[in-house]
């Protein structure tokens, strides 16, 4: 299939891939175009061309031909429609109308059929690729049949496409359910140029096995027909397995396992999932309240019912109690999500951070989540602008970034987008702290130069990773900002000579 990886198969993992040569971090593994892209599951009304949110009740946000949702911008480029073109013809031919919806923030079941329909139509157009890459994908029919979702899909998608949409003779019930299952199990999230989430079917990426510590990273280019480029995140030796991830790596084992079980129908047994300490990060560990240095960890992280025990004393509690505690804290955090970006938001996140200090391990996922919220506020809100931050708050931002990196260096090691974003946040307070110390006379010229070189190296690593992102995306734009900052920084370093 390719010189960089080879595909094997076994009953436990299904198809999986090994590196077929020694790979260096950043080496391109493969590129591919999606078989199809479309709205995510449970999508609210969106434009069927560009996926931006639309008002499900507005007559001026409808396709002039079929009456299904399109934004004003896409209506204006009527003759250049790409993604909505084929389904539009089917809706027109069969006079299938979109029913207006009043609540445009709620999920719109009428759109559930769109992405499966695009896969089915592409199958007709491109049968060779369907046979070689898509028909072989896992879709777990037996597990899915036992779920309520199967019945809902049967009603909203299978019957809808074969009935009102007039596709009874083209697509069998089994085939449509197969496509729905393939999408559910294998689709990856992509983002449009404007940052809206969609899903895409990327068959090569889907061959990579899942791990909660991936060694493959990918970037999707919305301006190049959603082309995907996959790279090695770290050095990978020939014969080693290649892993992508199907979950959010910065959630704890209980949540990752639940998401994988309900959405992907498997139990992950990666080294991180099997380790109660999550590879030494203690990402899910609580501090013991009965002894001094004990940590409370699950005796079997793969079992929700298992007890959680102190590493130092006899204390133990039920897994359900630990989960409940995490949910209560998470709910408290979620309440802050709607606060305006201002000093009050920052102070509230700091308040929660202090509140949980005696309960959570410092690197616990809830603390990590609070740190992410804080670093986007320090340096960016009124009263806390970067150049106004006193040294003590610059040091606070540095510490927050370094603590997130401790976790990311384990869970998303190497050239990951998540690390690059934090490296960007880290460089500015480091520079300002060095300059401040120099002005106060506590840092000599030679040391100032060293500190600036250190900040430039951090920025270079950030720019090198973000350069792989599409230049239209926020990450791609940041790559350019970082490159300009490197030029400026190098000028100040030279001026010190």
Residues of span 423-462 touching Zn ion by CB under 5 A: none
Task: Give whichever of 68 and 438 is closer to Zn ion, judged by the CB atom.
Answer: 68
Question: From residue 76 to residue 95, what is the string marking binding to Zn ion with x (rule CB under 5 A)?
Answer: ------------x-------
Q: How far is the CB of 118 from Zn ion (least distance, A)?
A: 13
How far apart are CB 257 and Zn ion at their closest, in Å?
8
Of 254-273, binders to Zn ion (CB under 5 A) are 268, 270, 273
Nearer to Zn ion, 260 or 370 (CB): 260
Can residue 294 be called a binding residue for Zn ion (CB under 5 A)? Answer: yes
Give the angle subtended at the CA of 381 by the CAs of 379 and 384, to the nearest 5°: 55
- Is 101 an interacting residue with respect to Zn ion (CB under 5 A)? no
Using the rule CB under 5 A, is 175 a contact of Zn ion? no
Total residues binding Zn ion (CB under 5 A): 21
Out of 17, 47, 201, 434, the residue judged to bind Zn ion by CB under 5 A: 47
Segment interacting with Zn ion (CB under 5 A) among 40-48, 363-371, 399-407, 413-421: 40-48
Q: Which of 170, 312, 396, 483 binds Zn ion (CB under 5 A)?
A: 312
Does 315 interact with Zn ion (rule: CB under 5 A)?
yes
The only residue of 23, 36, 37, 74 in contact with Zn ion, by rule CB under 5 A: 74
Give the residue with the Cβ less far from Zn ion, 178 or 253: 253
Phi/psi at 191 (5° precision)? -125, 145
Q: Evaluate the CA torsion angle 23, 25, 31, 32 in order and state its sign.
A: positive
Which of these segments, 18-26, 307-315, 366-374, 474-482, binds Zn ion (CB under 5 A)? Answer: 307-315
We find the least distance from the C-beta atom of residue 68 to Zn ion, in angstroms, to be: 5
Q: Which of 201, 310, 360, 433 binds Zn ion (CB under 5 A)?
A: 310
CB of 29 to Zn ion, least distance (A): 21
Q: Give the interface segment with Zn ion, choosing from 5-13, 19-27, 225-233, 285-293 (CB under 5 A).
A: 285-293
**Shorter beta-carbon distance to Zn ion: residue 140 or 312:** 312
Q: Which of residues 212-231 bind Zn ion (CB under 5 A)?
A: 212
User: According to the binding rule CB under 5 A, does residue 291 interact with Zn ion?
Assistant: yes
Tell the smallest beta-carbon distance from residue 262 to Zn ion (Å).
15
Using the rule CB under 5 A, is 50 a contact of Zn ion? yes
Among 49, 122, 153, 425, binds Zn ion (CB under 5 A): 49
Q: Does 278 bind Zn ion (CB under 5 A)?
A: no
**Nearer Cβ to Zn ion, position 48 or 377?**
48
d(CA 340, CA 337): 8
In the complex, the residues that contact Zn ion under the rule CB under 5 A are 47, 49-50, 63, 65-66, 71, 74, 88, 212, 268, 270, 273, 288, 290-291, 294, 310, 312-313, 315
């Amino acid at each position: 299939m390719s010189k960089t990886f080879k595909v094997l198969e076994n009953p436990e993992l299904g198809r999986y891939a090994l590196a077929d040569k020694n790979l260096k971090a950043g080496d391109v593994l493969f590129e591919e175009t999606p078989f199809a892209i479309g709205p995510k599951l449970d999508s609210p009304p969106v434009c069927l061309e560009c996926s931006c949110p639309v008002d499900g009740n507005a007559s001026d946000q409808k396709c002039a031909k079929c009456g299904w949702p399109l934004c004003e911008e896409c209506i204006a480029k009527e003759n250049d429609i790409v993604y909505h073109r084929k389904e539009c013809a089917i809706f027109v031919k069969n006079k299938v109308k979109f029913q207006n919806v009043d609540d445009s923030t709620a999920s719109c079941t009428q759109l559930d059929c769109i992405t499966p329909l695009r896969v089915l139509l592409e199958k007709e157009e491109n049968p060779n690729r369907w046979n070689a890459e898509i028909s072989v994908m896992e879709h777990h029919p037996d597990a899915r049949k036992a779920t309520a979702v199967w019945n809902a899909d049967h009603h909203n998608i299978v019957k809808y496409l074969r009935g009102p949409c007039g596709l009874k003779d083209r697509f069998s019930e089994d085939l449509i359910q197969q496509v729905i299952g393939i999408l559910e199990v294998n689709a990856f999230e992509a983002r449009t140029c404007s940052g809206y989430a969609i899903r895409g079917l990327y068959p090569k990426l889907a061959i990579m096995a899942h791990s909660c510590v991936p060694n493959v990273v990918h970037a999707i280019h919305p301006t190049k027909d959603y082309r995907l480029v996959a790279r090695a995140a770290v050095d990978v030796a020939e014969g080693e397995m290649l892993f992508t991830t199907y979950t959010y790596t910065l959630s704890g084992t209980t949540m990752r396992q639940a998401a994988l079980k309900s959405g992907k129908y498997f139990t992950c047994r990666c080294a991180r999932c099997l380790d109660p300490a999550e590879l030494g990060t203690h990402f899910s560990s609580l501090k013991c309240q009965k002894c001094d240095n004990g940590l409370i960890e699950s005796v079997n992280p793969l079992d929700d019912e298992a007890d959680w025990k102190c590493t130092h004393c006899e204390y133990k509690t039920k897994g359900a109690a630990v989960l409940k505690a995490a949910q209560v804290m998470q709910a408290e955090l979620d309440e802050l999500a709607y606060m305006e970006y201002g000093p009050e938001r920052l102070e509230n996140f700091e308040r929660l951070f202090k509140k949980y200090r005696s309960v959570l391990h410092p690197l616990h996922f809830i603390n990590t989540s609070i740190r992410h919220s804080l670093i986007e506020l320090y340096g960016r809100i009124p009263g806390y602008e970067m150049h106004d931050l006193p040294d003590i708050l610059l040091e606070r931002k540095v510490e927050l970034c370094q603590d997130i990196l401790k976790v990311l260096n384990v869970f998303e090691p190497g050239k990951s987008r998540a690390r690059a974003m934090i490296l960007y946040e880290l460089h500015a307070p480091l520079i300002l702290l060095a300059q401040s110390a120099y002005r106060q006379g506590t840092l000599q010229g030679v040391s100032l130069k060293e500190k600036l070189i250190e900040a430039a190296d951090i920025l270079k690593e950030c720019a090198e990773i973000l350069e792989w992102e599409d230049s239209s995306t926020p990450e791609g734009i940041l790559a350019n900002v970082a490159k300009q900052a490197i030029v400026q920084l190098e000028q100040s370093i030279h001026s010190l000579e």
